[in-house]
Amino acid sequence: MDKRKLGFLIVLVTLFAVLVAFAVYAFLFTNMGHYPAGMKAGVVDYLLYWMGQQGMQPRIAGRTELIARKHLAHQVPDPELRAKLTPDYSIGCKRILLSNQYYRSLGEENVEVVTTGIREIRRDSVVTVDGVEHPADAIVFGTGFKVADMPVGHQIHGRGGVSLHKTWAGSPTAHLGVTVGGFPNFFMLMGPNTGLGHTSVTIMIEAQVGYLVEALRHLRRDDTSVMEPTPAAIRGWRSEIDRLSEGTVWTAGGCNSWYLDDNGKNSILWPSFATSYRHRLSTFRPDEFEFGPGRTARVAVDTSVSA
C-alpha cells in the first residue's frame, strides 16, 4: 500500500472513531436520564480521554502526527514555508488547534512568515535580530497564556503574612487542588492541577464544592474552627501529580508550553481521568488535615492588588 492510500485509510479510521465516540455520547445523554450526571459524564470521560489527551503520549502519537503532517503538506506546497511551520516538538505538547483556513492564509501573496527573533520594537516597525526592519501597523501579542503565576497568589496571605505567591515559589500546588498548607480554612476552586483539556471543568468544580461542604461539616461536627492539610498529605499529593505527569506529552514532548510553570513542572493540568479526581474527592479524609480550636491564624485578602 502506498503512502497516499495509507494516509487516507488512517484519516478514515480516525473519523470513524470520532463518529462512534459522539454516537455513544449522544446515546448516553438521551437514554441515561435516570442515572446521576457524574456517572454519565464518567463514561464519556473515559472515551474522550483515551481518544484525546491520553492518546497524546509521545510514544504513541505518531499516527496523529502523521495526519497533521499530511494536512500541512496538502495546504502548504511550498517546502520552505512548510519547514517554517513544522513544529520541532511532539504533537499535543502545545494546544492543538483545528483549522482548514489557517495554513492556506499563510501562503497568500500579502502574507510573510518571519520566524527570526525580535530585537527591537519601533514606533511603526519591528526589527528582527538579523537587522531587517518590518513595517507594522499593529502588533498582536498572541504567545499563549501565563496561568501558573495566578494573580490571586499575590493577594492571599496566610500564617505570618506570607503570600501564596511566595509559598508556591513558581510552582503552584494545593492538596487535591483545594487546600494549601499554612493557609488555614482556605479553599480553592479550580486550583493547581485541576485544569482539563478533554472534558468540562464543571465536573471538577462540582467535586470540589462537595468536598468543601464535607470539610465544613466535619469542622462543625467536631467543634473545631481551624483546619489545614498536613505536610505529609501535601507531599503525597505532589508526588502523585508528578508521577502521573511523567512521560506525558506535556512534560516530555520537547516544548515549553503554558502548561508548565517557571520550574518546568506541570502545575496546571490534571494528568488523569476526571472521574478518578471525582472519586478521590468523594470522601473527606480527616487524617490528611490538622485541626485546632480557636482562631490561631487567619487568611488575609489584599484587595489593593488588581487581579
pTM (two decimals): 0.71
What does CATH list as the number for 151-301? Answer: 3.50.50.60
pLDDT (0 to 100) of residue 300? 55
- Segment 272-298 shows an average pLDDT of 84
* Contact in structure between 142 and 95 (CB atoms under 8 Å): no
185 contacts: CB under 8 Å, gap ≥ 6: 225, 226, 227, 228, 298, 299
pLDDT (0 to 100) of residue 21? 63
pLDDT (0 to 100) of residue 23? 61
Which H, E and C letters describe the chain, residue by residue? CCHHHHHHHHHHHHHHHHHHHHHHHHHHHHHCCCCCHHHHHHHHHHHHHHHCHHHHCCCCCHHHHHHHHHHHHHHCCCHHHHHHHCCCCCCCCCCCCCCCCHHHHCCCCCCCCCCCCEEEECCCEEEECCCCEEECCCCCCCCCCCCCCCHHHHCEECHHHCEHHHHHCCCCCCECCCECCCCCCCECCCCCCCECCCCCCHHHHHHHHHHHHHHHHHHHHCCCCEEEECHHHHHHHHHHHHHHHCCCHHHHCCCCCCCECCCCCECCECCCCHHHHHHHHCCCCHHHEEEECCCCCCCEECCCCCC
* Contact in structure between 212 and 284 (CB atoms under 8 Å): no
pLDDT tens-place string over residues 210-228: 999 999 999 988 878 899 9
pLDDT tops 90 at residue 179: yes
Q: How confident is the model at residue 39 (pLDDT cuts 50, 70, 90)?
A: very low
Q: Of 299, 276, 280, give the one whose Cα is nearest residue 288.
A: 280
Q: How confident is the model at residue 96 (pLDDT cuts 50, 70, 90)?
A: confident
* Contact in structure between 103 and 75 (CB atoms under 8 Å): yes
Q: Are strands 226-229 and 118-121 parallel, antiparallel or unpaired?
A: unpaired
pLDDT (0 to 100) of residue 294? 58
Residue predicted with more confidence, 10 or 180: 180
pLDDT (0 to 100) of residue 94? 83
pLDDT tops 90 at residue 46: no
Half-sphere exposure of 180 (CA within 13 A, CB side): 26
131 contacts: CB under 8 Å, gap ≥ 6: 119
Q: How confident is the model at residue 37 (pLDDT cuts 50, 70, 90)?
A: very low
**Mean pLDDT rounded to a whole number for the chain:** 81
Half-sphere exposure of 96 (CA within 13 A, CB side): 19
pLDDT (0 to 100) of residue 99? 83
125-157 residues labelled b (16+ CB within 10 A) or e (exposed) = ebeeeeeeeeeeeeeeeeeeeeebebeebbbbb
Residue predicted with more confidence, 132 or 294: 132
Query: CA 188, 262, 166: angle at the middle one, nearest 5?
Result: 55
Distance CA 157, CA 299 (A): 6
pLDDT (0 to 100) of residue 200? 83
- The torsion angle over the Cα atoms of residues 182, 183, 189 and 190, rounded to 10 degrees, is -30
- Ordered by start, the domain boundaries in the chain are 3-109, 112-143, 151-301
Centroid of chain to Cα 275: 16
Q: How confident is the model at residue 166 (pLDDT cuts 50, 70, 90)?
A: very high
25-59 residues labelled b (16+ CB within 10 A) or e (exposed) = eeebeeeeeeeeebebbbbbbbbbbeebbbebebe
Q: How confident is the model at residue 262 (pLDDT cuts 50, 70, 90)?
A: confident
Lowest average pLDDT, out of 35-39, 84-88, 219-223, goes to: 35-39
pLDDT tops 60 at residue 149: yes
